[in-house]
Structure 1
Amino acid sequence: MAASNEPIKLTPENYYSHETDWQYMSFSLFKDFEQCEARALAKLKEDWKPKSNPTPLLVGNYVHSYFESMKSHGDFIEANKKALMTKPTKTNPQGHLRAEFKIANQLVQCLQEDDMFKYFYGPGDKEVIVTGKIDGYWWKGKIDSLCLDKGYFCDLKTVDDIHKGHWNAEEHRYVPFIQDREYNLQMAIYRELIKQTFNIDCQPFIFAVSKQTPPDKEAIDFSNPDGTDAYQMQEQMDKLKELQSHFWKVMTGEEKPEYCGKCDYCRETKMLNGFVHASEIEV
């Protein structure tokens, strides 16, 4: 687990495997540990699986695979046919595309018809694996669209509503989805891993498309002239460096995981061991 050990080489086939998750930290795994260490560890050890609805993730992957390549999209549809299609009936033995994926087709069409999206996203190499060490620990990432010759990369996000506010309990205010989902951190990680893999400093862009009818879309930059976003990205990286050592020690069993007490895993495994005063219930 230690950063000094050379991890196994990543490939498209093993990138998402639990084996490589034990050797490389990723943005999604880091977020899992931030939200609840006990839940993240149980998922990683395959002792527990969440019962969440997989459809939103599949909708995102449906859109991503389309803009990766026609082969990738065809393979995705074939591998997820049961989830994408309704049950066969006598009048329709093949079934039909579920409503969520009809909306996904609208998202695809929305982006397909946008010249700016095609100009920036289209030319890049797709699903590029990047790796590197951050403060001595191995990390991995997968870049949706990477244009090394032009010095930028793009990440494609599907969201419910681009302009919806998300409550931030620490700041006691609503924040945009970029902040709520820590995409500043993700872009900072990817920029660092690209630099280590290819020795090129790339500018990050996000293309967001909403699951509304009709869909909304936005092209998002992270390099304001006043340096605000650059500061936010550095602030996020400082937080990562502060937390990751503990997360790795939880993974190796050197330190015990903390329970958030509120997630699905904590609710499922909770055992009462005393009374809580009525005035002390956390919200």
Structure 2
Amino acid sequence: MTTVVQQKENKKNSSKTAPLPQTPLKLTPENYYSHETDWQYMSFSLFKDFEQCEARALAKLKEDWQPVSSPVPLLVGNYVHSYFESAESHQSFVSENRKELMTRPTKSNPDGHLRAEFTVADSMIKTLNNDNMFNYFYKPGKKEVIVTGKIDGYWWKGKIDSLVLEQKYFCDLKTVDDIHKGHWNVDEHRYVPFIQDREYDLQMALYQEFIKQTFDKKCQPFIFAISKQTPPDKMAIDFNGVDDQYQIQADLDKVKELQPHFWKVMTGEEAPVACGKCDYCRQMKQLSGFTHASEIEV
């Protein structure tokens, strides 16, 4: 069945690709998230998309398909992030997303009220605001700093939540359901923390490299995690352990191994591999034969 999805992808993805640019566009806050620059720079989120399903990632990139999912979890994260970026950014975010943030108007409340998820987000913000360590490390940094760099000749982009160049460190703010929740890793056959499940160690490795290439300074990565629980949990995370350093190097090695194929998929030189299980592949799937009951993959 995956083969049928792959055959459809080979035909569909034979067009609308472009050669890899030698000199990509200069990134700005206005074009950073544009599809035009996504074709020219690899990013952590795009790399993860290709890791999970190349066919799905390419279809999203070409705007041939978009996932149907609730935007609320992403909006909660952006709501918290925008608050700690600046008052102006937070007000702009609230204004632009008011329809999603507020309940429907009623006769008794014509303006509606803040949805429960964003009431929790306000609690998350208050929890961080009241934490001295968070205030000391995160708040002084320059916010939303765009960085770029090359890995083995391929261009990448990143955006740093809070960068303190003078002290040689940077911070990333993560909103999670539960900091201590285990996530099943299929390859390792064990539960792993959210950092490993979401590959945030890879993200920190990439950002450390891009800061070094952009500013010629090696900066230490920190993550501040805040949970969506009531009351919220929080944790300050570094990557100074022996295993952490090993993992960061392994992450960069993985990027060097996988990125040439991903770029060739983007430029149409190689066909994308369909995972056969994600939402995109389920939508594209056409039955082509029977599977033995004893051979069903889980």
Q: TM-score, normalised by structure 1?
A: 0.98
How far 1:3 sits from its partner (Å)? 6.2
- Does residue 247 of structure 2 align to residue 221 of structure 1? no
Equivalent-residue separation in structure 2 for 1:113 and 1:196 (angstroms): 35
Q: Which residue of 1 aligns with 2:182?
A: 165
Select the residue among 22, 46, 50 that pairs with 1:33.
Answer: 50
User: Residue 252 of structure 1 aligns with which residue?
Assistant: 267
Aligned pairs for 1:242-281 (under 5 A) are 242-281=257-296
What is the rounded CA distance, in whole Å, between the counterparts of 1:228 and 1:150 in structure 2?
Answer: 24
What letter is aligned with 1:185? L
Q: CA deviation at 1:107?
A: 0.3
Matched-pair identity in %: 75
**1:57 maps to which residue?**
74
- Output the amino acid matched with 1:159: V
Q: Could you tell me which residue of structure 2 aligns to residue 238 of structure 1? A: 253
Corresponding residue to 2:193 among 159, 164, 176: 176
Task: Tell me which of 12, 15, 18 is aligned to 2:32.
Answer: 15
Amino acid corresponding to residue 173 of structure 1 in structure 2 = R
> Secondary structure of 1:16's match?
coil
Question: 2:214 is matched with which residue?
Answer: 197
| More relative contact order, 1 or 2 (CA 8 Å, 6+ apart) | 2
Shift of 1:278: 1.1
- 1:4/1:136 contact within 8 Å kept: no
CA distance in structure 1 between the aligned counterparts of 2:53 and 2:147, rounded to whole angstroms: 26
Report SS of the residue matched to 1:5. coil
Answer yes or no: is the 8 Å Cα contact 1:2–1:137 preserved in 2.
Answer: no
Structure 2 residue 98 is the aligned partner of structure 1 residue 81: yes
CA contact (8 A) 2:20 2:267 kept: no
Quote the offset at 1:108 in angstroms.
0.2
1:145-164 deviations in whole A, cap 9, x for unaligned? Answer: 00000000000000000000
Number of aligned positions between the proteins: 281
1:150 equivalent in alignment to 2:150: no
How far, CA to CA, are the matches of 1:112 and 1:270 in structure 2? Answer: 48
Task: Map 1:105-144 onto structure 2 (within 5 A).
Answer: 105-144=122-161
What is the deviation of 1:89? 0.9
Structure 1 gaps of 5+ residues are none
CA deviation vs aligned residue, 1:50-72 (integer Å, no higher than 9, x gap): 00111000000000000000000
**Match of 2:254, SS?**
helix
SS in 2 for 1:261: coil
Counterpart Cα distance in 1 of 2:248 and 2:82: 28
Q: Distance between the aligned counterparts of 1:175 and 1:2, measured in 2?
A: 38
Q: How far apart are the structure 2 equivalents of 1:277 and 1:94? A: 57
- SS of 2:178's equivalent in the other structure is coil
Counterpart code for 2:263: W
Aligned to 2:286, the other structure's residue is in SS state coil
For 1:4 and 1:265, locate their aligned partners in 2 and report how far apart those are by CA, in whole Å: 28
What SS class does the counterpart of residue 82 from structure 2 fall into? helix
Residues 197-253 of structure 1: per-residue CA shift (max 9 Å, x gap): 0000000000000000000000000012xx221110100110111000000000111
Cα distance in 1 for residues equivalent to 2:182 and 2:123:
23
Instruction: Tell me the distance in 1 between the aligned counterparts of 2:279 and 2:69.
Output: 9
- Using the alignment, how far apart are the partners of 2:107 and 2:144 within structure 1? 40
Deviation at 1:2, TM superposition (A): 6.2
What secondary structure is seen at the aligned counterpart in 1 of 2:172?
strand
Q: Deviations over 1:27-56 (max 9, x none)?
A: 000000000000000000000010011100
Measured after TM superposition, the shift of residue 87 of structure 1 is 0.7
Structure 2 partner of 1:100: 117
**Contact 1:3–1:137 (CA<8 Å) still a contact in 2?**
no
- One-letter amino acid matched to 2:239: F
1:73 is displaced (CA, Å) by 0.1
Distance 2:292 2:36 in 1: 44
Query: TM-score scaled to structure 2, two decimals?
Result: 0.93
CA RMSD of aligned residues (A): 0.9
